[in-house]
Structure 1
Amino acid sequence: MPSVKPFQMDVEQALQSLDSIVKGLSQSEADKRLKHYGKNELQTKVRLPVWLVFLSQFKELLIFILILGGLISFFIGNFRDGSIIFIIVLVNAIIGFLHERKAGKIIDKLKTLIKSPAKVVRDGKLMEISQENLVPGDIVQIEAGDKLPADLRLITVNGLKTNDFALTGESVPQEKTLEAIAGDPPLGDRTNMAYTGTTVASGSATGVVVSTGMKTETGRIAELTDEAGETQTPLQKELGRLANQLTIAVAIISVGLFVLGIMQEFSLYMSLVYALGVAMAMVPQALPAQVTVALTTGSNLLADHQAVVKDLPSVETLGSTTVICTDKTGTLTKNEMTVQSVWFNGRKYQVTGIGYEPKGEVLDDQGNKLTDQHIDQVEVIMDAATMASNAEIHEPDDEHDFWYSVGDPTEAALVALSTKLGTRSPQEDQENPELQEFSFNSELMRMSSVRRFGEELRLAVKGSTASILAISNRIYRDGEQAPLTQADKEHITALNKEYSQNGMRVLAIGYRELGNGDKEFTREEVEKEIVFLGLMAMIDPPKEGVGEAIADAQNAHIRVFILTGDHPDTALAVGREVGLHDPSQDASVVIGTELKQMDDDALKRLLTEKHSAIFARVDPEDKLRIVELLEQQGEIVAVTGDGVNDAPALKRAHIGVAMGQRGNDVAKEAARLVLLDDNFSTLFHAVEEGRTIYSNLKKTIFASLTTNIGELILVLLGLLAAAVWGYPIPILAGQILAVDLLAEIAPLTFLTFDPPDKDVMTMRPRRPGEYMLNLRGGLEITLLGSLIGCLAFFNFVYYMQRKGISLDMGSVDSMDYFMATTLSYATIVYCQFLNILQRRSERSSLFNRNFFSNKILLNSILVSIVLVSLAIYGPYISQFLSFGPIGVQDWACILGATGIYLLTFEAIKFFKRHKHATQG
């Protein structure tokens, strides 16, 4: 390809550079080029096969430790413990696999890309071919409603306007021209090009294909998206760190104890039993399943709010979010132009309702709804506006869940307004047929339509304010035509400026009576001596609830930035309307050209200093750069968007959020969360759910690790006692596993169902780099876990003293030994029940908490008590787990130990409350 780009060439040069002519390529030449360039399609990421998705569930380090422990158990002939371990591993894998498959199927349903045929000229004949067979040099014809099949350099245009929002973020259709363009402007300013994935709003054109497949702008962005890579979620980093620490600790301590056992002349079997006991004691066997269930539960709750999570850890990520970078068009706004104000007959009218749905009212300058009489008075401007429009609006149907438009969105806004008022007849085109249309002209900045009214002809015209004023000599005032004075022009110009400064697109409307007859007119004949009717100001309005959602995000100490390819004035207007502002000043606007001139240090300072900011006329590289720099500063970044231009940033962010209904397939593929209802407010529910999940997972992990420490201390004390007094191990590996399987797994899982704290959405996000398990938390877990281990060991030894017996290595098959280990087991279990209940609040006493707010947790503890009792006293389970039927005195010892643990925990919470009150 030449160094000069197609948009920098004139039409002839562009055709020559592609070795093409207006009559198109020959079929044989097209076939050659297809072999050379390949098919006109994007390379999509292949989804993992089912069996690989299942195997991926076993990649976590904690799972590896469990699998190794199971293999060792089988190696030494302990099939009971090995079987229990592999059951736990399999349960973890099945839970994770089922959810990933469910999310994957939902995402598949969201893909609605249809490969429509393309109209191409080959061998001098117009034909339709599959768009995947287009090649550079093909001559393609496009018209209103078409989706662009490739990147085109336009060679003829007839009033062509394209909807480029998916690629550039522009909310208004872009008028296209043929003239060569100097320099290297952004995509939105390359007016002689039409790009893949955009659609034709109005008009028609012919273009020569300059790029196909991955060489198109959409393909380039898709490639940039692949290169962006994915960022690990905070939860993945946290659990990975925890798994690494536990793996190292397990390896060091288990190997050390195995060597120590051999040195103490323990048998190989007993040395492996102790090492395995320590490994099982230190690994929170059910933690992967509990994390999965917590995230799955959060995912299901989000699904109830019309949000689909593609991978589980992303559920929690939103709760850690410190910055939201959002696209504007289609994300904050409806991507439906809406008339919000009308100036007519010297008065301003406000219009309620948003989007194409004809639902809303027109209010006068006093805020009163228009009466039928007033509606009749404004009908003249409504009629002129719609008669100079070709767009249509339609009700929801099988392919659309919402009102939608066909044609120019600006014209659709006028039709929607007229329909709201009831002034537009469904048979308008039949009652007042169009005889001639003078399409929009970029030099004149207007279009007009000649229509028949009975025997009379009338011209309706709309365009820029300056354009319509230039051809007007009268103005409509109180039902009469009055001369248009210089004062009128100055007043109208000032109104136009006021509307424009608020980010609104302004159309001036006029008309002219042309008399009767069937005369053919020229444009010059009719577009003069116009009666100026008024102004219509419109904007792509924010969606309902967006302002409240942004306010909620700011109250939650989350910064919000707008990143859009749209114009600065429009972006700022939307930002102000949704309440996006800096506490000290209005949100500033940074333009893409300014952004490119900043080095990384300057941009980092800007991103750090601003509580909120708006970046306008930015391209995909700019968005990606902003996200990367925010992440380098330690921010947890969420990106929302719906277009191809958002895809690289969506993928790079900690969590990308795409719109499900109107979002482009490339954007949905790059995102981790898809909002099925396209509602930005759903994002706030996701943030709240994410924070709640993090809080509950922290409770679960702390509760789980506390008993792991308790089990470890019990095994270590047993090893010490074995070396000094010859005692047997006070708890078996299988019994340790039974703590998880029978007593912990359900209560810890349902602890993740705890309702959110009242202040969850007013708290600051956890600081980037802040660990769930820090030094203070680790000391607390160690203290409380050690207490559980000591209490269990005390009851083990005290049982022997009460019974007047002495157990040794040779007693491991006796009922007394089974009874003693059962006492150790039950002490750990009942302390854990209390530990789980205490973990529901960081500082509040167990007796001050709304005890019954999580009934499913309480019920799960009752069920676990029943299961533990059945395991201890049941004829088969007790034999399998080597339990003995302990008596009343034994239960008194267990409850006594639980009481000591309760008092200790309450004392710790008392000191926490005192410290918090002192610091507060």
Structure 2
Amino acid sequence: MLLALAVVSILTSDPVGASIMTVMVAVAVIVGYVQESKSSRAVAALRSMVSNTALVRRRQLANGRGELPIEDLVPGDVVHLAAGDMIPADLRLLAAKDLFINQSSLTGESMPVEKFSGPDARCSAPMESRNLCFMGSNVISGSALGLVVATGRDTTFGALASALATPRAPSTSFDRGLRRFVGLMLRFIAVMVPLVFLINGVLKDDWLEALMFSIAVAVGLTPEMLPAIVTFNLAKGALAMARKDVIVKRLPAIQNFGAIDVLCTDKTGTLTQDKVILERHVDAAGGDDARVLELAFLNSHYQTGLRNLLDNAVLTAVDPGQTQRLAAEFVLVDEMPFDFERRRMSVVVRDMEGRHMLISKGAVAEMLAMCTHVQTAQGPLEFDADRQAEVRQVAHDLNADGFRVIAVGMREMTPPRSQYAREDERELTLFGFMAFLDPPKESAAAAIAALTQHGIAVKILTGDNDVVARHVCRHVGIDLEHVLTGPELDALDDAQLTAALPETQLFARLNPQQKVRVIEALRAQGHVVGFLGDG
């Protein structure tokens, strides 16, 4: 609009006015271009610091294997995976040893998933398959050999990225507000200028002077300084955010950020710490028991295989003094490593009196099946049907509170031997349970309270199950009126989803496409929606 008026000013012999308007437009464009160029260069510099490669088997490489950029991978390549590696493509596992994968960026599930080679007939969806690894996830522990089946845009991660990509950046609320303001000014000018022209022409009978005056009115009504003022203020905001280590790629995003009235946030790593800690160690009745922690520590400390996150959480929970004492009092005799059939692992240790004790920990159902007694305040008692029901209820209550539960059992081996086998994992005495959790961040509750105080509604969109998500929401101060899961969301049409949005604060077991659907539905209601997280 300013450039159009500048042209009119030149035609009406007003070069000064035309120059001012042209300079204002040029300054606004230049400032915006310079600021966004700096941000783009900063982002490019950050990306250049990260170089992703993969260890690949190929006949053309020296010694038949070597490091290649992930862009050079093709279907049919065989890739080596080790702890800390990013999954470079969608893979089918050929071999795996103690392999745990973090695929929270795809599923939102905070706990690592164990993968293994061989067919997985029980899986109902590719993402749930135990013999497939997907680009975008990473190796927590273990090692594996995988066959590349898809790369780049053909991967599951690439398909999600393509679905989320748009050919041009969507207009922000700031852009729409400016367009509404410009439209209002144009309509006002469209009414005022002809009216002034006709009134002056009729009353003064000098139509040339009336035309000049009406043009002057149009120029006067135009806010020539608006582009420069807006650009300078946004640039100032970008500099202020840069001091807090925030890169603003598009200046209008600053105002859009401030206009958010609904914040959708992921759970894992956003509300929570994205790490596993041992929250509770309880006896079979549900009361805190230090003996359970000691047995679990001996099991995790003396296993010689790769420790998973649960083992590390157990070891971290024991203070250094107790660690030294237990390590001095017990010596490893033998171990039975974890496998998926037994879903437990055991160690045999010798105490200072020469007694051999088999300590086992693992999945609740498999461990209870191996137990014949349960440790109580009165000592070991027979693990009859009534006590089994009570113990299962304790484990169920822990699961309902969002914990991942591991059972701990022990058996004294008589007579002592130098070697033991998996067949010895029987007639155990159940001592209790270990309860693990991905804890909320200390700052999460205060941040959500501040958002609520400023009128911003917070909605949780997570791929994790609703039980765990409810537990986290309670801890960070989110009151849940209604919860929707992914399968329930798919059963709703757009009108039903729109009606359910105002009363729903938690959306659980969502995949990325379902998260996009929720956000688009909120935007269709006129909300300015922000999303926080990597899921």
Query: Do the two structures share a fold, i.e. TM-score over 0.5?
Result: yes
Structure 2 distance, partners of 1:573, 1:391, is: 32
CA 391–550 in structure 1, closer or farther in 2 if over 3 Å, else same: farther
Alpha-carbon distance between aligned partners in 2 of 1:164 and 1:171, rounded to the nearest angstrom: 8
> Distance in 1 between the 2:374 and 2:212 partners?
98
Q: Does 1:147 align with 2:86?
A: yes
Distance 1:477 1:183 in 2: 39
Q: Describe the superposition over 1:597-650 as per-residue Cα deviations: whole angstroms up to 9, x where unpaired.
A: 222222222124x1x33222211221111122222222322222213xxxxxxx
Of the candidates 434, 448, 457, which is equivalent to residue 536 of structure 1? 434
- Of 509, 517, 521, the residue aligned with 1:625 is 517
Q: State the match for 2:17 in structure 1.
A: 81
SS of the residue corresponding to residue 535 of structure 1 reads strand
Q: 1:317 aligns with which of 239, 256, 262?
A: 256
Tell me: CA distance 1:347–1:212, structure 2 relative to 1, closer, same or farther (3 Å): closer
Which 10-residue stretch deviates more, 318-327 or 277-286? 318-327
- When residues 309 and 378 of structure 1 are mapped into structure 2, their CA distance, relative to the original with a 3 A threshold, is same
The match for 2:345 among 440, 447, 454 is: 447
2:179 maps to: 240
Alignment correspondent of 1:466: 365
Q: Does 1:127 align with 2:19?
A: no
Aligned with 2:315 (options 415, 437, 455): 415
CA distance in structure 1 between the aligned counterparts of 2:105 and 2:303, rounded to whole angstroms: 24
Kindly indicate whether the alpha-carbon contact (under 8 Å) linking 1:258 and 1:275 is maintained by their aligned counterparts in 2. yes
Give the CA deviation at 1:172: 0.7
Secondary structure at the counterpart of residue 590 of structure 1: strand
Identity of aligned residues (%): 31
| 1:506 matched to 2:446 | no
**Native 8 Å contact 1:148 1:199 kept in 2:** yes
Question: Aligned to 1:149, what secondary structure does the other structure show?
Answer: coil
Alpha-carbon distance in structure 2 between the residues aligned to 1:157 and 1:551:
45
Could you say if the C-alpha distance between residues 75 and 458 of structure 1 is closer, same or farther in structure 2, counting changes exceeding 3 Å? farther
- How high is the TM-score relative to the length of structure 2? 0.84
- For residues 417 and 229 of structure 2, the distance between their equivalents in structure 1, rounded to whole angstroms, comes to 80
Q: CA deviation at 1:534?
A: 2.7
Separation in 2, partners of 1:228, 1:323: 25
Q: 2-side partners of 1:385 and 1:285: how far apart?
A: 75
Does the aligned pair in 2 maintain the 1:575–1:587 contact within 8 Å?
Answer: no
Partners of 2:296 and 2:408 within 8 A in 1: no
Which residue does the alignment assign to 2:500? 606
Please tell me whether the aligned partners of residues 345 and 533 of structure 1 are also in contact (alpha carbons under 8 angstroms).
yes
* Rounded Cα–Cα distance in structure 2 between residues aligned with 1:453 and 1:197: 46
1:591 matched residue in structure 2: 485
Alpha-carbon distance in structure 2 between the residues aligned to 1:184 and 1:458: 41
Pair 1:580-2:474 in alignment: no
Give the Å deviation of 1:240: 0.8
Question: Aligned residue for 1:559?
Answer: 457
Give how far 1:163 is off: 0.8
Q: Which residue of 1 aligns with 2:298?
A: 384
Q: Gaps (5+ residues) in structure 2?
A: none
Contact 1:136 1:212 in 2 (8 A): yes
> 5+ residue gaps in structure 1?
1-64, 350-363, 365-374, 393-406, 644-920
CA contact (8 A) 2:284 2:433 kept: no
Q: C-alpha separation between the residues in 1 aligned to 2:110 and 2:309?
A: 9
Measured in 1, the distance between the counterparts of 2:397 and 2:523 equals: 39
1:3-42 pair list within 5 angstroms: none
Aligned-partner Cα distance in 1 for 2:192–2:277: 68
Deviation at 1:237? 0.6
The alpha-carbon deviation at position 517 of structure 1 amounts to 8.9
User: In the alignment, does 2:10 pair up with 1:116?
Assistant: no
Say how many residue pairs are matched. 528
For the 8 Å contact 2:174–2:252, the answer to whether it is kept is: yes
Question: Does 2:175 align with 1:283?
Answer: no
Preserved CA contact (<8 Å) 1:388 1:447: no
Give the Cα–Cα distance (whole angstroms) in 2 for the partners of residues 262 and 248 of structure 1. Answer: 22
Paired residue type of 1:386: S
Alpha-carbon distance in 2 for matches of 1:528, 1:327: 43
CA contact (8 A) 1:449 1:461 kept: yes
Q: Whole-Å Cα distance in 1 between the matches of residues 418 and 515 of structure 2?
A: 55
Task: Give, in angstroms, the shift of residue 208 of structure 1.
Answer: 2.2
CA contact (8 A) 1:472 1:484 kept: no
> Could you tell me whether the CA contact under 8 Å between 1:118 and 1:149 is conserved in 2?
no
Name the structure 2 match of 1:156: 95
Conservation of the 8 A alpha-carbon contact between 2:36 and 2:248: no
- Quick check: 1:510–1:533 contact (8 Å CA) kept in 2? yes
The one-letter amino acid of 1:161's match is F
Residue 120 of structure 1 aligns with an amino acid whose one-letter code is R
Report how far residue 501 of structure 1 moved: 0.5
List per-residue Cα deviations over 1:109-138 (Å, max 9, x = no partner): 554643122243659976234133322223
Which of residues 497, 507, 524 in structure 1 aligns to 2:423? 524
Counterpart of 1:169, as a letter, is: G
Task: Answer whether contact 1:382 1:423 (CA < 8 A) is retained.
Answer: no
* Cα shift at 1:224: 0.4
2:263 alignment partner, SS class: strand
Relative CO higher for 1 or 2, CA cutoff 8 Å, sep ≥ 6?
2
Report Cα offsets for 1:424-452 as digits up to 9, x if no partner: 35997x99887765443233221234567
For residues 37 and 139 of structure 2, the distance between their equivalents in structure 1, rounded to whole angstroms, comes to 37
The answer to whether the Cα contact below 8 Å between 1:390 and 1:411 also exists between their aligned partners in 2 is no
User: 1:218: how far off?
Assistant: 0.7
Bigger proportion of residues as strand: 2
**Cα distance between partner residues in 1 of 2:214 and 2:304:** 80
Query: Where do 1:734-749 residues align within 5 Å?
Result: none
Matched letter for residue 179 of structure 1: P
- The answer to whether the Cα contact below 8 Å between 1:388 and 1:448 also exists between their aligned partners in 2 is no
Q: Equivalent residues in 2 for 1:180-195 (5 A)?
A: 180-181=120-121, 185=125, 187=127, 189-195=128-134
Point out the structure with max Rg over C-alpha.
1
Q: 1:345–1:628: structure 2 CA closer, same or farther, 3 Å change rule? A: closer
Change (3 A) 1:122 1:446: farther
Mapped partners of 2:381, 2:124: distance in 1:
47
Match of 1:198 in 2: 137
More helix by share: 1
Match of 1:90 in 2: 26
Instruction: Give 1:283 shift.
Output: 1.3
> Structure 1's 302 and 391: CA in aligned 2 closer, same or farther, altered over 3 A?
farther
Query: In angstroms, what is the RMSD of aligned CA positions?
Result: 3.9
Whether the 8 Å CA contact 2:284–2:394 is kept in 1: the answer is: no
Written as runs of structure 1 = structure 2, the 5 A alignment for 1:383-402 is 383-387=297-301
Cα 1:422–1:336 shift into 2, 3 Å: farther
In structure 1, C-alpha distance between the alignment counterparts of 2:435 and 2:56, rounded to whole Å: 37
* Pairwise CA distance, 1:311: 2.2
The residue type equivalent to 2:294 in the other structure is: V
2-side partners of 1:123 and 1:521: how far apart?
Answer: 47
Deviation at 1:223, TM superposition (A): 0.5
**Counterpart mapping for 1:749-768 below 5 A:** none
**SS at structure 1 position matched to 2:478:** coil
- Alpha carbons of structure 1 residues 453 and 304: separation in structure 2 relative to 1, 3 Å: farther
CA distance in 2, matches of 1:599, 1:471: 48
In structure 2, the CA distance between the partners of 1:161 and 1:388, relative to structure 1 (3 Å rule), is farther
Matched-pair contact (CA < 8 Å) for 1:388–1:461: no
Could you say if the C-alpha distance between residues 257 and 441 of structure 1 is closer, same or farther in structure 2, counting changes exceeding 3 Å?
Answer: same
Contact 1:464 1:506 in 2 (8 A): yes
